[in-house]
Structure 1
Amino acid sequence: MSQEPMVRDTSSAVLELLAAGAPADRFSFLVEDARRRGAEGAELAGVERAARLGLSITSRWERHRRRETGLAALLEAVRDLAAAHQPEDVLLQSVARRARLLLGLDLAYVCYPDEEAAQVRVRAVDGRIARLEAGLTLPLGRSPAGLAMTDPVPLWTADYLTDERVEHSTAVDEVVRAEGLHTMLAVPLNRQTRPFGVLHVAARRVRGFTADEVALMSAYGDLAGTAVERARVLDRAAALRESGDAHARLLRLVLGGAELGELAEETSKLVDGAVRVCGTDGVPLATTGELPETAWEQAETGALEAHGSCRPVPVGPGLWAAPICTGTVGLGTLLVRLNGPLSDDGAQLLGCATQAMAVLLLLHNSRAAIAEGQVRDDLLDDLLAHPDLSAQKVRARARRLGLDLAGPHVVVVARPEEDSTGRASVWAASYAYRRNGLKCLRHGTAVFLLPGSDPGDAARAVSAELGPLLRHPVTVAGAGPVTDPGAVRHGYQEAVRCLEAMIALGAVGRAGSVGELGFLGLLLSDSRDAQGYIGSVLGPLLTYDEQRLSELTPTLEAFFAAGGSPTYAARRLHVHPNTVARRLERIGELLGPDWQQPARALELQLALRLFRVREQLSGEPAGGR
């Protein structure tokens, strides 16, 4: 048989196979058949070349077929994504299912990163699963998801657990083993050019991905990202409509004369949780559902943060605090124990509820809990602005509030170093109520009238509680005590002067009182209690001299007059230096070891001068020397 007919027959056979769409292995049969017939050399080479060309054409047709199949599936997926609007969570589930079917793999899931917490949360899963369920959180790191978020291009691995390019973590590896996964492809879901999530497809066998498959999934990821963003926009629009409807419904309740309890019930339905409305002092005004009696104590710190940030803040497991306020004026706090997480829509609904409650509280500000807080503020404002008010009428007003102004009270002023009026106002109302006192705000300073006789202790107590809550320095000063309502204004002025002096002296963020500033406090005080100041500084010496008929006070005077020299002091006193030395030892025992330190020595010398001046003005002998 000649070579030419053999080649012609082989070419015809290849064409027939191509026309019939025969599988690739049929072309190898042509070569084997030629060998059996004894073909060799150039004849066999011709047959092999024809078979290779046929196989090449078949492979190309197969790639085109797969590409067309993939494009058809992609077009079908596009139709699904462009169908009627679905909520984001439902759409994500559809995205995961379609992605798994596109490549015929075992599993697909979508996760969103939380970059602050360096983790991802699974939002939707499709396929047979063991542990990889929606809601699961996993470390971000340099996993396929992390790498796809960092460099927003598809990334795949043929065998995840053995791939050294991946930064493995115990948590992720455990899930991969539990699912029996090997091959994994991660595709970023983009919002414009910025990824907001990652779509994963995975197989439970080791396999590779062709360039066409990667391109197909990348195109699908782009389409899915656009669809999810569209769903988000529509969800937000729907949420706004729902929020607007809820706001209108709540305001209709308010304007229709509803009570606060009715608003609380409607809010409970809107957010699916138990609700309690508290006044600025933490007193419950209305409750719907079950909340613990200790809810306010648990939430008080968070309530301050809520008023400072004007948004709901978490204050415990499932417990949220939302501010009820107008501008910087706090009217109360809404506590909510939710049956699920607080979504963005839920936060908007809480905002609608608190606005409606603020309107209601303003319209009905004669209610006991709100009115009492305002009346307390008004009473202290009147005491500060009108010191000539009738003491009898003031005490009567105080008694109606459960206060007794006949006993000693101290005035405390607290000035935060940063503007935090909202949080300071809410805390001040609660603190004054708990301490059975009064409060008001004047010129960015919280003013308290509190039962007690030690202004320094009262100032430190305010500082210890308010400073950590505001998280920035608070300077606090106290004055008093006062027992007459007419003296409250003077106490306030003394406390403010003390506060200004502390700030000028660099004691920002500290707490103190007029009496604790020594001779500076004497100058700042309206009472000018020189005798009290002398007693606070020289009391132990004066008492010792009076009881023992000794001369420690004159010895101390002589010691300072002699420039701190015991020898010269002895000459001024006409006694032996040893006598002065023994007296100085006794003085140290009575006054403390630091009595010769510059600041303490200055206080002692000023007190000695005042003591002698008072003795001379009173006409009484100043004592032997």
Structure 2
Amino acid sequence: MTSAIPADVVVALLGAASAERPERAGEVGELLAGAGLPDEDVARISAEVRRLKAGSARWRRRGQELSALFSSARELAQLRDVDELLSRLVERAHDLVGTDVTYLSEFDAGSRELHVRTTLGTVAPTFPGLRVPPGMGLASMVVEGRRPCWTSSYAGMTQAPHESGIDAAVRAEGLVSLLGVPLLAGEEVIGVLFAANRFEHAFSPEEISLLSAFADHAAVVLQTARLLARTQAAAEETRRAYGELARHVEAMERASGVHSDLTSLVLQGGDAGEVATALGRALRCRVSILDETAAAKDEAVRRSRRSGRCVTADGGAVAVAVMAGSTLLGALVLEKGEVEFGPVERRTAERAAQITALLRLKQDALSEAEQRVRGDLLADLVSGDPDRLADVAGRARARGIRLEDLRSVVVLAVPTDQQRQAARAARRGAALVGEHADHIVALTVDEDPAAAGRAVHAVVREALGAPVLAVAGAVRELPAGLGAEVEAAEACARALPALGLSDTAVTTDEYLPYAAMFGPDNARVPAFVRRVVGPVLDWDAEHSGTLLPTLAAYLGHRMSPVAAARALHVHKNTVLQRLERVGELLGTDWQDADRLFRLTVAVRLAHLTVGT
């Protein structure tokens, strides 16, 4: 009959079978020593206690692992950023399994490649970012089989093909044993989670099961995070698109408003300033207008002129040229304001430039018509014809001009192709402007002819960017006629270039002798020159043509042979020889005071005659 075991011994045996305290060698035998049991029964009881202790330890460890697993799943479920989620996922797997290295390879369904996305425990710089071609290595076995795969010795692995790049990375990292489990979202493989050691290790079913369970949780969380990221990206794209649509609608409404305003301006006879005001009000920015002179100097306007479109200048301003065909009429400059200059705003500015060109052409046409009338008035005043002067005062008053207020006349000598531009510029400071005998004539209210000449010369010179000769004179009481004053000024304008004057403002009083000699009654001048220096002119015509220039240099340098030789770049003796020839031609008394005066005037007139 089997001996009874005291209750205290049974309780002690159950305590020994608990996994909460470490087991001591021979502890069960000591507890059963006083029970009188056979040795084989003691052995059987000891074995069963050890089995119970191992099972209890296994289930306790399993409970701890499951607790850690669910804790990790809850933690991962709170993350939304995919990159942060992958890093935390690998970190938690590393803590759970306890291997040397843990890493995650992401699967690309398009190329069917895997590439190492996140690692923990690696030391080789080549391992992160490693790409695994389709069908190669342990990772491809996991993807294709959708199941865990492992090897205790990667170098000796034969169940999967090796690839040289992967083998080199594994050797550099020193990995020996590897376990890979798939990250599955339904039937879709989204990646492979690896646990690896740098020594040979046979992964137990518990380790495989634990990593697989973690991978299942992680796959769900990762897929959810990806879907949330895509949803957020789609929502952001929708918000951006809606914002862009709203901005576009707002821009179109502004453009429609500007178009309506500009149409009204055209119908009501508005001007360029009103266009700029309407454009600036609609686009909430400051709009400036450049005239053709300033526009031609602006680099952004030059680029806009070539392209026909708006051009962004330095500082963010936008410039658009105002064109009529190939003619530059000016430019609109829009400074950076509250509204961003998008395509609609740029098209609006370009439309405004077209309207500005239309209004400018209309205004220019009206201005040209008005100037033709004013030019006719000026022509009538210059003509001196009593019939044409009969009602000139009344016609002038109809244009807002009081003839009795005009005090100075300015004659401008400019190239023919620049006369129209010169006349337009001269109108800025003159009451009447017109063309007469290849010159531009302007009447001003300035009491001082010199001041009038300087003012008109300055504005025309700036507009043309070229030399301008202006000759001014005082005006008699109008409308008695203007012919004599204009003819005197034109005579000076013809003579002065021969004196080296081509870009200045002078008065007829300053050069009265030239005006008198080259005026309308100048037929006697050639006869006078002929009588005084005719023999010299004949000699030059038959020979080398050096006597008259030598005589002019001699007289122009205070009758100094040395100074004349220096001016002519010849030797003094050459000058003396030529002067000796002059004496033979003109007579020995050619240097007497009276003859010398007439000779000086004749030589100067001979030069001016050639110049005119």
Normalised-by-shorter TM-score class: 0.3 to 0.5
Q: What's the TM-score once normalised by structure 1's chain length?
A: 0.37
TM-score by length of 2: 0.38
